[in-house]
Structure 1
Amino acid sequence: MATLKTDVRPAGVIGRGLGWSTAGNLVLRVGNFAVSLIMARLIAPEQFGVFAVALTVWSVLGTLAEFGLGSDLVRARDPERRIPTVATMGLLTSGGLAAGMALLAGPLAAAFESPDSAPVIMVMAAALAVFGLGIVPAAMLQRAIRQGTLFLINGIALVCSSVTLTLLALLGHGPMALAIGQVTTQVVTVLGLYLATRLRPRFGFDRRIAAESAAFCLPLASANLLSWLLITLDNLIVARVLSPFELGLYVLAFNVSSWPMTAIGQSIRVVALPAFARLETRAEQGRALTAATGPVWAVALLVGVGLATLAQPAIGLLYGDRWRPAAAALAGLALFGAARVLFDLFATYLISLGATRPVLLVQIGWLLIMVPGMIAGVSWLGLAGAGLAHLVIGLGFVLPAYLVCLHRVGVRPAAILRSCLIPLLVIIPTAAALLGLAGLGLPDLAVLALGLAVAAGLYVVPLHRWWLRRIRTLEGVRS
């Protein structure tokens, strides 16, 4: 059986991997964004709300199906020996959860007070069944930091899915078009992963390996599940407290607010996990995290503040006037999206050390606070309250909790906070200028164009030397 070469020079492969990951995520983000623009004009908010229910269920169960098995392979010292057991565990978990999702489609749809979602949920269950087959090859590509290959696979899957769902939407299939598009994505992705790795499905079961994997994966899978619940239970709350129409608006706003996480956080996560694991000492790992935090935060903060201050023209221009009310939720959600990039970086660092239980504890506390906070925010302030609830809880609880966890593994919280200070100071006049620009009553396109110029002049130019110095510091961590 073919194997993947992973003993390459760290600096070169990590640099190329980060470049491919960042570029790939940006291109795929643009592609997904283009598809969302088409769908926003072919599918009404009420229909998108029906699909959002099915997507919520799929996202939560998909997190459980992965079970952290991919991360276990990425950081393992003996991946080849573990592959058959991991493949078997992945197939069993994804298959079992897919069956449960299909059988419980009716009750799940009823819980969201959206009975039309039941057949869409059943179709989405097929995507979940296929998902488990891709865990091993995806992990091996991530371990080898072959982000260019992953980008190509995901790009082909995006094209196939986009063509499928657009044709079905034009034929009037509404939310079912989106569901079939999701199934297409999973099938094409899994086929591409096996072709790229030249692996063949290999199953087996070793009790000792399974026990070791479970010890690492169970807290991580639980934390991932809670993480998805944190960003999907709000859909349930919005649907029940408000309406399916406002759920459609909220889901669109949340998707837009996730741009920093999708374009920046995910790019870094897939490289950071193997990169942190390759460093030989805890001191090197801690210095790498501190050096990475500032540049990552600087980029995420700019995107988040830009989306928050220019929410109205961005939504109006890109999605049309009927989606403009979604801007009420986007203001708070965009700032939360920037903070999520940091939270994900901290969690990835802890996972690379094998510290999955602290990540789980943070997620548990976050969920316990988020549910009543979200109910209160939505009840009092509607869609705007949902966004503000996420932001307040993130800054008031999640950030301090992760800093405590990092302190316990030898990373100084003061150093982390100092690395974030300069971008925070520079963003203040930038945010004030963007808010003033948004209130001038200019056409949406003019506001966005001028906003880009303002952000470049007040934030990017003054900060670029600082950013480059931090990048050079990060490159010299192992020197």
Structure 2
Amino acid sequence: MTAADGASLSARTIRAGIWTVGARLSSRLIDFAVLLVLARLLGPADFGLVATAMTVIYIVEAILELPLTFVLVRLPQVTDRMYDTAFTLGLIRGLLVAGLMAALSWPLASLYGDPRLMPLICTLALAPAARGLISPRMVIFEKALDFRRKGALELLGKAAAGAIAIFIAVSTGNYWAVAAGTISAPVVMMIVSYVMAPMRPRLSLADWPIFSNMTGWNFLSQIVSALNWQVDRLILPIYIDVTSFGRFTTANDIAGLPFQAIVQPTAVPLFSALVNAREKGSLVGAYLKACSGIVMLMAPVMCFIALMAGPVIHILLGPAWASGAPILAGVALTSLFVLPTVPMSALVLVLDRPRLVAFRSLVELAARVPLTVVGIIFYGISGAIAAKAGAGVALLLMTLYSVRSVAGIPIRDQLRSSLYPMVALVPAVAFLYGVPDLTQSGPYLYPAIAVVGLVYGMLYVAGLYGLWWVTGRPDGLESYLAGKATAYFRR
């Protein structure tokens, strides 16, 4: 490869990353906007009922997920027969998911004691079936690092689903609005995909061996990940009413938005940065900076959500959801244990130790399942939140010891890199503790929380840079931002 080719590849990679991150952020913003509108039109019970139905569907869909696109991207040349095989496998998967959910709909409705779940589960099963039938030829654009069409496809699906859901919510005012939005997004994406990447589907399994190896290795990891992701939502509806479950799932979704908007888009850049650092012999320092940077960005966001949960719920969802504030606060606080573990996946992949990712998921599952079962049986939602915290602590400990084993980074140094921004956050958190209940501000709630957020941010930045200066201005995110700020003011 020539220097010009390398520069061209780098430019295309950067553009692909921008489109991927931009599309992900935009689609999450659409989801968030639709959630806010639906929360005003529907109640927690409507969200809880749909969430109960979708929990099992998510688990079955995740377990039966086939990495078809990943296999096709890796192939140097893709033939029509391979595309036909990919389409056929996607169709078989969709029929399996839909058929399995139809068979489970009556037992699940009986288990959760709500007959409305039977038609709801059967209908919602159409969503994963449609997702599996998206045109396999869309992979042509991914192989060329052209993610514009994939981003546009996702945005069109989300926008159409949001419009349909809001229309039905206004017209009927019941839970089928949420279900319609869930189904219509993949259906719209499937239809549009064949406009962007036309193909005449043919049934064929001639090239099944090409896909079989990757599918087999992927199966166990998917089972573990799916159970980790949904175990509390699977058990909770048995022990609590559907309205309370709706508050729990919605609070979880709100607490997860910062991760989807900030953490997930950094996965590819973080991996590339660690690869580059390994080549330069500075992997340890780069990993510690990554840990510190993730905590530095996310900890103040999650602490603000936790301590201002009441006003946040009031503004986003309305007064009818006020009892969900303690749930949001608890879920946001439990996420603090997970923040230092985020860069580990990229590190072990750089060091060619991918089995540690699966092992980490198994450790998390071994801690989460018994804690969740016991916690929910005896304490309901509070027990589910405590189980999240316990699983987070187990995951953190496993990460600390694994990183020390594979990269030789002392646990003391790992803890120091993550505690550094937490110490800087203390003055800002102390300020929030002294703020009175803003939900009593009436019409002044919006400006009040804006002022509180501004002061909170200024105190955090001041604490961060004060601590950075006292510790000798070490190289890191603070020094980078300080340099940018200095250059800007000089101009």
* Aligned pair partner of 1:437 in 425, 435, 438: 435
What is aligned with 2:477?
467
Residues 407 and 142 from structure 1, CA distance in 2 versus in 1: closer, same or farther, beyond 3 angstroms?
farther
Distance 2:118 2:258 in 1: 32
| 1:162–1:388 distance in 2 versus 1, CA, 3 Å | same
User: Is the CA contact 2:52–2:237 (under 8 Å) kept in the aligned structure 1?
Assistant: no
TM-score (normalizing by structure 2): 0.80
1:400 to 397, 402, 417: 397
1:61 aligns with 60
Rounded to whole Å, the distance in 2 between the matches of 1:452 and 1:138 is: 43
Establish whether residue 253 from structure 1 lines up as the match of residue 233 from structure 2: no
Distance 1:276 1:84, change over 3 A: farther
Call closer, same or farther: CA 1:424–1:409 in 2, change over 3 Å.
same
With structure 1 as the length reference, what TM-score do the two structures score? 0.82
State how far apart, in whole Å, the 2-side matches of 1:279 and 1:199 are: 43
Larger RCO: 1 or 2 (CA < 8 Å, sep 6+):
1
User: Could you tell me how far apart the structure 1 residues matched to 2:462 and 2:195 are?
Assistant: 44
Q: Deviations over 1:347-375 (max 9, x none)?
A: 35545776553323322232232133224
Task: Give the equivalent residue in structure 1 for 2:418.
Answer: 420
Deviation per CA, 1:73-92: give whole Å up to 9, x if none: 56x36474776655544443
Match of 1:214 in 2: 215
Aligned counterpart, 2:104: 104
CA shift in 2, pair 1:124/1:282, >3 Å: farther
Structure 2 Cα separation of the partners of residues 286 and 21 of structure 1: 28
Comparing 324-333 with 397-406, greater Cα deviation is found at 397-406
Q: What residue in structure 1 maps to residue 153 of structure 2? A: 153
Amino acid at match of 2:455: V
* 1:454 maps to 2:455: yes
Partner of 2:489: none
Residue pair 1:430, 1:459 contacting (<8 A) in 2 also: yes
Larger Rg: 2
Where do residues 9-408 of structure 1 align in structure 2 (5 Å cutoff)?
9=8, 11-71=10-70, 76=74, 78=76, 80=78, 87-134=87-134, 136=136, 146-172=146-172, 174-193=174-193, 195-196=195-196, 204-206=205-207, 208-214=209-215, 216-218=217-219, 222-269=220-267, 289-337=287-335, 339-340=337-338, 343=341, 345-347=343-345, 350=348, 355-379=353-377, 381-394=379-392, 396-408=393-405
Q: How far does residue 204 in structure 1 lie from its aligned partner after superposition?
A: 4.5
Task: Let me know the Cα RMSD of the aligned residues.
Answer: 3.7
User: What is the count of residue pairs matched by the alignment?
Assistant: 463
Equivalent pair of 2:427/2:463 in contact (CA under 8 Å)? no
Q: Which runs of 5+ in 2 are unaligned?
A: 469-475, 484-491
Contact kept, 8 Å, 2:165 with 2:181, in 1: the verdict is yes
Contact 1:332–1:387, Cα closer than 8 Å, also in 2: yes
Change (3 A) 1:256 1:128: same
Contact 1:54 1:121 in 2 (8 A): yes
Residue 488 of structure 2 aligns with which residue? none
C-alpha deviation, 1:200, in angstroms: 7.1
Q: Which amino acid aligns with 1:246?
A: S
Q: Deviation digits for residues 155-197 of structure 1, max 9, x if unmatched?
A: 2111100111112222216222222221210022234445556
Identity among equivalent positions (%) equals 25
Q: Which moved more, 1:251-260 or 1:7-16?
A: 7-16
CA 43–306 in structure 1, closer or farther in 2 if over 3 Å, else same: same
Distance 1:184 1:278 in 2: 42
Q: Distance in 1 between matches of 2:277 and 2:96?
A: 37
Q: Which moved more, 1:270-279 or 1:351-360?
A: 270-279
